[in-house]
Structure 1
């Protein structure tokens, strides 16, 4: 399997992944990702070269977004002063579930973060999705806190405020990385 940068041609696949994941998560009893993700926002992240695709042959198997930009209002000034990279929208096709591809993508992200000079690989997860939170804990992340205050775009409470981190580190993820070398983080 290989990792590539996403291109605008991947937009429909990424939106389909999101819908597939939302349907699966809903069947498990969570409202995570129940609102459609705006295609223009997703396209902007693709064009910023922060969306990566996991491919096997001609199939797209999964995706992960990795950025140096933190979600506003979640991390403290002190935490933001530490060099970090942030994981978003980790998704693996249900056809490939059960192969630890999500864990390996997290290892890849931690490796890339480390090579860019990050100390931490961080994420925010759905506040009420305890199954997802357990998954990240099992992947070596440490829960930092849950942010409930603040508002989401629609005026409701923050829905993705469960914060976790693990050290960025070199990893043998087993993927062929076809992406450009990571840029060093800005101080």
Structure 2
């Protein structure tokens, strides 16, 4: 499998991935991702070079966003002084489930964050999706705290405030990495 940057023409596939994931999550009894994600915001992250596609031949198996930008209101000013990158929108296509692609993408993200000069790879998860929280803990993330107050980026109530981190480190992920070298974080040592 190969990992490469998403391109603007991938927008429809990424939105369909989100819809597929929302339907699957609903079957599991969670309301995570039930609101449509704004296409313009997703396109902006694609154009910023922060969205990556995992391809299995011509099929898209999974996607992840890796950004130096924190969602407002989740991390303290002190925490944001530490060099870090943030994982968002990790999604595995249902036909590729059960292959540990999510765990390997988290390893890839941690490796890329390390090469960018980050100390931490951080994420937030749905506050009511305990299965997802346990998954991230099993992947080596440590729960920092749960933030319930405030407004989310999309203007709705805060629902994704369970925050966690793990050290960014070199990791073997076994993907053929076709991404350009990461930009060094501006505050990295």
Query: Kindly tell me: are residues 153 and 113 of structure 1, through their superposed partners in 2, closer, same or farther at Cα, counting changes over 3 Å?
Result: closer
Q: Tell me by how many angstroms 1:103 deviates.
A: 0.1
After TM superposition, what 4+ stretches of structure 1 lie above 2 angstroms from structure 2?
152-157
Residues of 2 paired with 1:154 and 1:19: CA distance? 17
TM-score (norm 2): 0.97
Q: Is there any run of 5+ residues in structure 2 with no aligned partner, and where?
A: none
Q: 1:147 aligned to 2:147?
A: yes
When normalised by structure 1's length, the TM-score is 0.98
Q: Cα RMSD (Å) of the superposition?
A: 1.0
Q: Distance in 1 between matches of 2:161 and 2:49?
A: 24
Deviation sequence 1:53-94 (CA, Å, 0-9, x none): 000111111000000000011100110000000000000000
Q: Which residue of 2 aligns with 1:59?
A: 59
- Residue in 2 aligned with 1:173? 173
Q: Cα distance 1:155–1:113, how it changes in 2: closer, same or farther (>3 A)?
A: closer
| Aligned counterpart, 1:130 | 130
Alignment of 1:20-169 (within 5 A): 20-152=20-152, 156-169=156-169
Provide the C-alpha distance between the structure 1 equivalents of 2:122 and 2:116, rounded to a whole number of angstroms. Answer: 14
Total equivalences in the alignment: 187
DSSP-derived class of the 1:160 partner: coil
